[in-house]
């Protein structure tokens, strides 16, 4: 049952500090049987909508619901082809809904989709939400940002670190799902999996405020659930100008990794597979053949010819039904796409810990000035534990407890805010 309990995941979406609505959406669809795991795997999606409050919220909702449903609906297609078909059909539906209502005109959304399978992970990308993989002390970005910034740098028109690069807008995307009748997603993978691998799907509300090396440090130090909360908290503490959504997946069981699963090579289709042969066709072929022979022996040549022709036609139909779909097989080590696109190496650095300590100090000062009722004993324990780990050189433990202290204090503040807000209400 490793495909069910051999991994853990966490998903969290937050409106942020400056938005009144959440235009992000996410979906998690898990295989519930061994057969479903082998054929389709586990599906994870993050979408960041755009096009006004109502339009962006609707577009991202339609995207995650449509892709997750259609990916499994197209069971006669290989997983890569089913994923592309699901995205194409979902795009058409979002475009149709946007064209039919002036309030939703030009609405669209980013989509970052990860499919975890025995052969590894497949990644489909539209827009500038992202998917990362943490392995050991290295974090790789598996997706390409469809943004003016990334497109110009990829073309060589703008060099990294140049004055011109600093002038290019960072959040202007070049591709999204919905505004146009068709869309071209990037399809990457399969990336082989190993025990300990951590995958992060996130909207740009996270990466606009939290650097890659900080993300990697948190992912390597905390469980998926704690890391998801810590990442969202950090984005909000630093202003939270946008919605933030994170989905984190960690592989624990070596038995579900690519090498251990012994899964067959992945077939990349270029068209639909033929439907399986129905037994009725075989019955017709045999019946027509027997009838043709019997009629021939009795001298009914015309009837025998018709029966023989029927046998041939039924045989051709049967043959066509049994031909596999066209495509190619990806041999071991072969994959689609050009990723990974960035690499971040985790290294012990005092600067991130200094930022975390400064943040927790600021939060404590604000809480004390506001006379909030905080369980300071637990907060102080986490801060002391983090400092002790830092002095002993256990950098990972230091980051873990420093981020836990911040998340603990923020949860206390959220609880106190709720209590104060309810003081003036009548409880029934």
DSSP string computed for 257-308? SHHHHTPPPEEEESSPPPPPPPHHHHHHHHHHHHHHHHHHHTT-HHHHHHHH
Residues 278 and 262 in one domain: no
Is 428 part of any domain?
no
- Domain contains 330: no
Domain-ending residue, one of 266, 291, 308: 266
Question: Per-residue pLDDT tens for 358-383?
Answer: 999 999 999 999 888 899 999 999 99
pLDDT in tens, 218-240: 999 999 999 999 999 999 999 99
State the residue range of the domain holding 415: 348-422
Enumerate residues 6+ apart whose C-beta is below 8 A from 12.
Answer: 228, 229, 232, 245, 246
Residue finishing a domain among 266, 294, 311: 266
Report which of residues 1 and 412 the model is more confident about: 412
In this predicted structure, what is the pLDDT of residue 364?
A: 93
Q: Distance between CA 133 and CA 30 in Å, rounded?
A: 19
Q: What is the pLDDT of residue 365?
A: 94
- Does residue 339 lie within any of the structural domains? no
What pLDDT shows up at residue 330? Answer: 74
With bands split at pLDDT 50, 70 and 90, how would you rate the model's confidence at 275?
A: very low
Q: Judge if 219 and 294 occupy the same domain.
A: no
Say whether both 399 and 292 belong to one domain.
no
User: CA 173 to CA 125: how far, in whole Å?
Assistant: 12
- For residue 270, pLDDT beyond 50: no
Residue 213 domain-assigned (yes or no): yes
> Residue 357 has what pLDDT?
95
Which pLDDT does position 295 carry in this prediction? 56
Asked if residue 155 and residue 21 are part of one domain, the reply reads yes
Please report, rounded to a whole number, the percentage of residues in the chain having pLDDT higher than 90.
Answer: 69
Statement to judge: residues 201 and 246 lie in one domain: yes
Domain match, 278 and 410 both? no
Q: At residue 216, does pLDDT exceed 90?
A: yes
d(CA 262, CA 255): 10
Assigned domain for 50 exists: yes
The phi, psi pair for 85, rounded to 5°, reads -65, -40
Phi, psi of 124 (to 5 degrees): -120, 135
Q: What is the pTM of this model?
A: 0.84
Q: For the chain, what is the domain count?
A: 3
Residues 148 and 256 in one domain: yes
What is the average pLDDT value for the chain, to the nearest integer?
A: 87
Per-residue pLDDT, 156: 87
Q: Is the pLDDT of residue 265 over 70?
A: no
Q: Are residues 284 and 373 in the same domain?
A: no
Least confident of 35-49, 131-145, 248-262: 248-262
Are residues 224 and 286 both part of a single domain?
no
Same domain? For 114 and 190 the reply is yes
Report pLDDT for 206.
98
Asked if the structure places residue 340 within a domain, the reply is no
User: Would 427 be classed as within a structural domain?
Assistant: no
Whether pLDDT at 426 is above 50: no
pLDDT at residue 412 tops 70: yes
pLDDT of residue 324: 45
Lowest mean pLDDT among 28-42, 81-95, 223-237, 321-335: 321-335
Calculate mean pLDDT across residues 27-47. 96
Q: Is residue 334 part of a domain?
A: no
- Phi-psi bin for 261: left (phi > 0), alpha (psi -120 to 50), beta? alpha
Task: Give residue 70's pLDDT.
Answer: 98
Claim to verify: residue 54 and residue 88 sit in the same structural domain: yes
Q: What is the pLDDT of residue 271?
A: 44
Last residue of a domain, one of 232, 266, 300: 266
247 and 109 together in one domain: yes
* Distance separating alpha carbons of residues 26 and 52, to the nearest angstrom: 19
């Amino acid at each position: 049952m490793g495909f069910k309990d051999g991994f853990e995941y966490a998903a969290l979406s937050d409106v942020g500090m400056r938005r009144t609505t959440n235009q992000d959406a996410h979906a998690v669809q898990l295989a519930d049987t061994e057969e479903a795991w082998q054929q389709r795997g586990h599906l994870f999606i993050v979408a960041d909508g755009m096009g006004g409050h109502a339009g962006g919220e609707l577009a991202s909702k339609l995207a995650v619901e449509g892709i997750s449903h259609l990916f499994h609906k197209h069971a006669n297609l290989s997983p890569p082809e089913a994923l592309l078909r699901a995205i194409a059909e979902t795009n058409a539906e979002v475009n149709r809904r946007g064209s039919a209502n002036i309030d939703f005109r030009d609405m669209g959304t980013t989509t970052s989709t990860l499919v975890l399978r025995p052969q590894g992970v497949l990644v489909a990308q539209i827009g500038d939400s992202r998917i990362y993989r943490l392995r050991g002390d290295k974090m790789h970005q598996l997706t390409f940002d469809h943004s003016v910034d990334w497109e110009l740098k990829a073309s060589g028109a703008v060099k990294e670190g140049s004055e011109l690069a600093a002038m290019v807008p960072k959040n202007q995307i070049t591709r999204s799902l919905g505004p146009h009748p068709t869309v071209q997603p990037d399809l990457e993978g399969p990336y082989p999996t190993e025990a300990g691998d951590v995958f992060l799907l996130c909207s740009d509300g996270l990466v606009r405020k939290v650097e890659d090396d900080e993300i990697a440090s948190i992912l390597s130090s905390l469980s998926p659930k704690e890391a998801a909360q810590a990442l969202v908290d950090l984005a909000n503490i630093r202003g939270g100008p946008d919605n933030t959504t994170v989905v984190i997946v960690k592989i624990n069981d070596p038995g579900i990794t690519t090498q251990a699963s012994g899964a067959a090579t992945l077939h990349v289709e270029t068209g639909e597979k033929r439907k399986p042969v129905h037994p009725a066709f075989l019955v017709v072929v045999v019946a027509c053949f027997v009838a043709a022979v019997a009629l021939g022996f009795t001298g009914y040549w015309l009837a025998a010819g018709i029966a023989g022709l029927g046998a041939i036609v039924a045989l051709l139909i049967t043959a066509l039904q049994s031909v596999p779909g066209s495509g190619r097989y990806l041999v071991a080590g072969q994959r689609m796409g050009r990723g990974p696109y960035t690499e971040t190496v985790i290294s012990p650095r005092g600067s991130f810990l200094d930022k975390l300590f400064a943040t927790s100090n600021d939060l404590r000062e604000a809480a004390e000035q506001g006379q909030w009722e905080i369980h300071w004993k637990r907060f102080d324990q986490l801060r002391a534990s983090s400092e002790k780990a830092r002095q002993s050189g256990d950098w990972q433990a230091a980051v873990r407890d420093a981020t836990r202290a911040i998340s603990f204090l923020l949860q206390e503040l959220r609880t106190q805010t709720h209590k104060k807000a309810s003081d003036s209400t009548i409880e029934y």
